[in-house]
Structure formats: C-alpha cells, structure tokens
C-alpha cells in the first residue's frame, strides 16, 4: 500500500514507498503551515514575502538588491517592489556601497532589527510550545533532517552554472 492507502503501482520498491510517505507528509506539513499563516497577523504589517527579505538582510548582512534576490531564489523585480515597501515602513534602508559609490546596499534599520527579533522570538516560542512534549534529541534530529532536506532541495533546483568557454585557438 502507498501512503494514501491505495495499492502501490507494480514494480515499486521500499524506497519508492518511503518517498511516497515523505511526499505525503510534506504536503500535510505545508498545508498546516499555510493554514496557520492564514490565521496569523502579518509581522508588524509586513507582507510575508517581504519579511523573508528582511530576515535575510538581518541574518546575512547588507547586500545589493540582486544578491538579495538570488539568496531568496526570487525575481529581482519582485524583490525590488518588496524592498520598496520595507523602506517605506522604515525597516530597511539604502546605504552607499563602499566598494562602488554608484551602487547601494540594503540593510536593516534599528526598527527592522526589532521587528525581526520580536517575530523570531514569537515563532520560536510557538514551535517550542508545539514540540514541548517531544524528547530534546528528537527536536534536534528533526532540525538536522529539515536542514539537510532544505539544502538538498536548494541544490537540486539551483540554476546551472554558466558554461565555461574554451579559449579560442589562434
């Protein structure tokens, strides 16, 4: 039987069945997270996609808009629109790039840091409450496995590096 209780297709092995179970549980998890997000207020009025940008700037430090877009696997024009909202809200500021005076770096403001920390604290308390009955070793193992899965997904879906061109023969 597969994870839906249906007979497994002919010729599948245990690895396929475990992958099917994992896929089913990932869908359940994503739906549960989406339901929880739908019922929660946006952090300090910041739309969720923009909040991800604020978090990256806090955790990774100031960066150019294109580098920020790349780090969150998003389109630069979308990131530009979301950053404009963060700037208007006083959570992110534009600073001159010390390496190139024509360019700007995006950086969290003191208010941006406060908003990030308040929401990080709220998230961590909620996860702590949800898993309070878990053994600490299980909590740590889940964090390790989720990190590994996220890394593998990012690697699998990373854009291919540009081809290396052979030098022209003279």
**Spatial distance between the Cα atoms of 122 and 133, rounded to a whole number of angstroms:** 19
Are 31 and 47 members of one domain?
A: no
Residues of the chain predicted below pLDDT 70? 1-3, 39-44, 166, 168-170
Residue 112 has what pLDDT? 96
Whether residue 127 is found in the same domain as residue 82:
yes
Q: Which residues, other chains included, contact 44 with Cβ-Cβ below 8 Å and sequence gap of 6+?
A: 89, 91, 115, 118, 119
> Does 147 share its domain with 91?
yes
For the stretch 9-33, pLDDT in tens is 888 888 999 999 999 999 999 999 8
One domain, residues 6 and 76: no
Euclidean distance between CA atoms 1 and 6, whole angstroms: 5
Cβ pair 104, 95 in contact under 8 A: yes
Question: Residue 48 has what pLDDT?
Answer: 81
Specify the pLDDT at position 154. Answer: 83
C-alpha 165/C-alpha 146 separation (Å) is 37
Domain count, the chain: 2
pLDDT at position 136 is 96
Residues of the domain holding 34:
1-40
Task: Let me know whether 23 and 53 are in one domain.
Answer: no
């Amino acid at each position: 039987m597969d994870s839906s209780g249906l007979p497994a297709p002919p010729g599948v092995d245990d690895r396929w069945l475990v992958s099917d179970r994992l896929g089913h549980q990932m869908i359940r998890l994503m739906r549960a997270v989406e339901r929880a997000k739908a019922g929660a207020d946006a952090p300090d009025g910041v739309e969720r996609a923009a909040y991800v940008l604020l978090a990256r700037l806090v955790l990774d430090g100031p960066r150019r808009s294109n580098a920020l877009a790349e780090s969150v696997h998003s389109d630069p024009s979308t990131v530009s629109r979301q950053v404009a909202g963060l700037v208007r809200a006083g959570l992110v500021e534009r600073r001159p790039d010390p390496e190139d005076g024509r360019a700007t770096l995006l950086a969290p403001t003191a208010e941006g840091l406060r908003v990030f920390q308040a929401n990080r604290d709220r998230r961590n308390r909620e996860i702590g409450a949800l898993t309070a009955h878990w053994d600490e070793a299980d909590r740590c193992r889940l964090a390790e496995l989720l990190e590994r899965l996220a890394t593998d997904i990012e690697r699998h879906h990373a854009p291919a590096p540009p081809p290396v061109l052979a030098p022209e023969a003279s």
